[in-house]
Amino acid sequence: MRNIPALLACAAMTGFATPALADDGGSKWQVKLMGTAVLPDGKIDKVKTDLVGLPATLQTKASDNYVPTVAIEYFFTPAVSLETICCVTEHHVTGTTGLPGARLVSNAHLIPATFTLKYHLNAGRISPYVGAGPSYFLWFGEKPGATAVAAGADDFKMSDELGLALQGGVDVPLNDKGLALSLDAKRYFVKTTARWYAGGTNVITTVHQLDPWVLSAGLGMRF
């Protein structure tokens, strides 16, 4: 999270800028439909329980996913807005060292419930912005991967966790009726605890650093 002070300083400097959007006749809402790349880390930060003798060099990686997303944004002023996104992503986790290629997690679905407070800068017709806010990662449908099942795992759970999202992007008007091209980047800072079970016994517990980049492009409509 070492980049947070610099990003917050950048956001503070925008206080000297004129609001980006002229009064558009009272349009307060913007809805965006975008294609999104979810690029998580997934490496092991800590091993808390190990009843099976994991390799000391074990490390993991979560898979990337590409999904459609919907963003809904409300403008309190031409410069300040609140945005939330809606999407569901699916990931699996494999070993990179220690157990290279081992399928440890399968079909883990994630809802990244996120709210960001955004400040829109003045840049003529285009509207760059920065934002930050809380995110709650909700997991469901988690299953142990094929390698874990072969080793005796019969259940698997990931913990829901609260994290932080930082955001930057730009809206580029395409006409005078509210249609815009939107490019958006978010960096999340969040961990999760993964637990594998065999016969009801928690045999492995690991803490994973997710910290995904979420990169989106699409169209927005103000109304």
8 Å CB contact between 66 and 36: yes
* pLDDT-derived band at 8, boundaries 50, 70, 90: very low
Q: What is the pLDDT of residues 128-186, one digit of tens each?
A: 999 999 999 999 999 999 999 999 999 999 999 999 999 999 999 999 889 999 999 99
- In the predicted structure, residue 105 carries a pLDDT above the cut 50: yes
Residue 216 vs residue 27, higher pLDDT: 216
- In the predicted structure, residue 115 carries a pLDDT above the cut 80: yes
Six-digit token string for 125 = 């017709």
> Domains in the chain, ordered, with CATH?
4-12+28-37+64-146+160-189+213-222 (2.40.160.20)
**Backbone φ and ψ of 219, nearest 5°:** -115, 145
- In the predicted structure, residue 12 carries a pLDDT above the cut 60: no
* pLDDT-derived band at 26, boundaries 50, 70, 90: low
Six-digit token string for 169 = 């992007």
CA distance 154 to 86: 31
CA distance 87 to 67: 7
* pLDDT-derived band at 123, boundaries 50, 70, 90: confident
Which of 11-15, 77-81, 163-167 bottoms out in mean pLDDT, i.e. has the lowest? Answer: 11-15
Contacts of residue 167, defined as CB under 8 A and 6 or more positions apart, other chains included, come to 83, 116, 118, 129, 130, 131, 132, 133, 184, 185, 186
Give the per-residue pLDDT at 125.
81
Six-digit token string for 115 = 């709210």
Give the per-residue pLDDT at 85.
94
Task: Give the residue carrying structure tokens 């994991």.
Answer: 54
- In the predicted structure, residue 21 carries a pLDDT above the cut 90: no
Three-state secondary structure of the chain: CCCHHHHHHHHHHHHHCCCCCCCCCCCCEEEEEEEEEEECCCEEEEEEEECCCCCCCCEEEECCEEEEEEEEEEECCCCEEEEEEECCEEEEEEEEECCCCCEEEEEEEEEEEEEEEEEECCECCEEEEEEEEEEEEEEECCEECHHHHHCCCCEEEECCEEEEEEEEEEEEECCCCCEEEEEEEEEEECEEEEEEEECCEEEEEEEEECCCEEEEEEEEEEC
Six-digit token string for 179 = 């249609």
Q: What is the percent of the chain with per-residue pLDDT over 70, rounded to a whole number? A: 88
Give the per-residue pLDDT at 27.
83
- In the predicted structure, residue 11 carries a pLDDT above the cut 70: no
Q: Read off the pTM.
A: 0.85
CA distance 140 to 136: 13
What is the pLDDT averaged over residues 54-64? 96
